[in-house]
Amino acid sequence: MEKLKNNNVTQESIFTRNLKRGIDKGIISLTEDQAKIAYHCAREFTAGFKNPEEKVRASYFTELVLDYDYPLKRIDLEVVVPRRTPQDRADIVIYEDDELKKPYLVVECKKDGITDAEYKQAIEQVFGNANSLRAKLASVVAGTTKTAFDVAGFKPKEREKNVISDIPKKYGRTPKYNFVKGEKDLKVVSKDELISALQKCHDTVWQGGRLAPTTAFDEVSKLLFCKLKDEKDTPRGEVYQFQIGTHETPEEVFSRINKIYQKAKKQDAEVFKEDIRLEAKIVYNVVEHLQGLAINKIDLDTKGIAFEKFMEDFFKGKMGQFFTPREIIRFCVNMLNPDKDDLILDPACGSGGFLLNTMDKVREFAEKNYDEHEAYNHWHEFAKNNLFGIEINDQIARVCKMNMIIHDDGHTNIISTDSLRDFEEINDIHKGFMQDKFDIILTNPPFGATVRATEKDYLDKYELGKNKDNQKTEIMFIERCVNFVKPKTGRIAIVLPDGILTNSSLQYVRDFIMEKCQILAVVSLPQFAFTHYGAGVKSSLVFLRRKGEKERLENYPIFMAIAEHIGYDATGRADPLNDLEKIYQEYQNFLKNPKEYK
């Protein structure tokens, strides 16, 4: 049982927590090798514990006894169901009497992550069992998704009007709503449980391919936004709005969720511009998956990794260009070491990786150096006022905003436009985006696209675009980044294709960089660095400081390094070797005395 005992509670799954509670109270026990579990109820019952469904049953069994106060002597497992062909067995049955003659509740347990179709099959299965046993209530549990039904009070074929918010405590009355803030509150879940819940939501919305993956993500994001908003805005002692009440129809649930969305939309029209475009039944099913989870209370690292994994699973390959690997992001942020007073910009922010990692760095510093209240204010002010991003793809800009909301905000300074437009036009959209303003730029600009003079009237306004019919976007981005940061102190970390650093035909670009900037460091990345993200161009990380207007530099040392291992391989699998960590340490040594560094 050691691996059940040593986890941080906030990181533990609901199942692990329940299992420990059940063992501590002596209502269940595991063999030493955790191969078998014993339930100490109406009759001693033993089952294999390797089956994922058994873990769900053990967890719910514990809740029935410890949270709902049902007596052990009235609970039986694997109960043979009469009049069922082929013969069926009910996973859990609670009786009203000590003689086990009057079935009260029948439970069907399924592993986490089953499809909506499989969940519907489980509902039919539990109804068949409950009707045959003549039980009053039925419940289906599949991981963190649960649905309870009033079986006795409705016609045999009813599956919607007889949904109840939850089973009652110890044969009592069914509550109208299950979750009340500060009383019967939501549950903190583990990273894997959150990923699973998000994936279930996406599969529900995606409807097996009826919606494009990106559209499905948009719709899930809207509902997730409502969920987070409801968690934050519900006063203590009040029922949460983002849940299914007893005997509520999908239309009633949709109406309530839509009110949250419309109110939030008015407050922040830039986050989501469109209405929820899903049928009431789909929204109802998503609420079913999320209603019991306390997403805001999950620690930020866990929540961030879960949401990142959720995004990657169906964006990568389709929209891989909007994602920069976490290892590369972390390295760039460490190299430039931003603090809370720095204004940070990513003019090609994609899903927001550079901005979020910067926020995390400032947060970690605050949490180590200040008390809880001061730390919270320290990094929240930074997230609100100091992080800026531009993303040309409107849909991905919303992904970025959602990513930042999940991380506890910083989304207010994300705009969707072309970063290469005239500064005045960008400033008209958001007054915070000005020339010569930012302390640090961290970015992975788009490679390979071409800006044509016939299509964009701004090409001739760039030094690197003058008198040209067309120019590569990555070259234009260099000049744009230089002009966005402050003269003399502004610093840049940018991913560039190696061709800019080596091709003789691009000497004029290197001349521009050396004229405008001090080159701080160049770190060569392996060929495969971005292949898993849909790009195979050999690239390097280039770190620059913009010179002052009349600043001239004599010959100066530049830190150069080659990374062969970067924490993941060509397939995206983790690699225990990561040269970037060693390179960062060497750069710190270099900074102590650049001229003497060897």
Judge if 2-164 and 316-591 fold alike in CATH terms: no
Long-range contacts: 144-147, Cβ < 8 Å, 24+?
A: 144/14, 144/112, 144/187, 144/189, 144/193, 144/196, 144/197, 144/289, 144/292, 144/293, 145/112, 145/119, 145/197, 145/200, 145/288, 145/289, 146/292, 147/123, 147/288
What whole-number distance in Å separates Cα of residue 346 and Cα of residue 109? Answer: 47
What is the domain class of 316-591 according to CATH? Answer: alpha beta
DSSP 430-457: -TT--TT-BSEEEE-PPPS-EEETTT-T
Q: Which residues contact 273 (CB under 8 A, 6 or more apart)?
A: none
Q: Is the dihedral of CA 311, 312, 318, 323 positive or negative?
A: positive
What whole-number distance in Å separates Cα of residue 343 and Cα of residue 331? Answer: 19
What whole-number distance in Å separates Cα of residue 532 and Cα of residue 544? Answer: 27
What whole-number distance in Å separates Cα of residue 324 and Cα of residue 334? Answer: 15
Site of tokens 């501590």: 24
Residue type, 232: K
- The Cα-based distances of 233 to 13, 33, 229, 230, 372 in angstroms read 26, 45, 6, 5, 21
Q: Which pLDDT tens digits describe the chain residue by residue (598 residues)?
A: 333 433 344 467 899 999 999 999 999 999 999 999 999 999 999 999 999 999 999 999 999 999 999 999 999 999 999 876 666 899 999 999 999 999 999 999 999 989 888 999 999 999 999 999 999 999 999 999 999 999 987 777 777 788 999 999 999 999 899 999 998 889 888 888 888 898 889 889 888 778 877 788 888 888 988 998 899 899 999 999 999 999 999 999 999 999 999 988 887 776 677 899 999 999 999 999 999 999 888 887 788 778 877 777 656 555 555 678 889 999 999 999 999 999 999 999 988 989 999 999 999 999 999 998 999 899 999 999 999 999 998 878 888 888 888 777 767 799 999 999 999 999 998 899 999 999 999 999 988 788 888 888 889 999 999 989 999 999 999 999 999 999 999 999 999 999 999 999 999 999 999 999 999 999 999 998 887 666 678 999 999 999 998 899 989 999 999 999 999 888 878 899 999 999 999 999 999 999 888 7
What whole-number distance in Å separates Cα of residue 187 and Cα of residue 199? Answer: 18
DSSP state of 239: B
Copy the structure tokens of residue 356: 């979020």
What whole-number distance in Å separates Cα of residue 105 and Cα of residue 69? Answer: 13
Q: What are phi and psi of 593, to 5 degrees?
A: -160, 80
DSSP 457-484: TTGGGSTTTTT-SEEEHHHHHHHHHHHH
Q: Which residues contact 582 (CB under 8 A, 6 or more apart)?
A: none
Nearest Cα neighbor of 535 from 468, 474, 469 is 474
- Is the CB of residue 168 less than 8 Å from the CB of residue 174? yes
β-pairing verdict for 28-30 and 44-48: unpaired
How many helices (DSSP H) and strands (DSSP E) are in the chain? 18, 21
Spell out the domain ranges in the chain: 2-164, 191-297, 316-591
Under CATH, which architecture does the 2-164 domain have?
Alpha-Beta Complex (3.90)
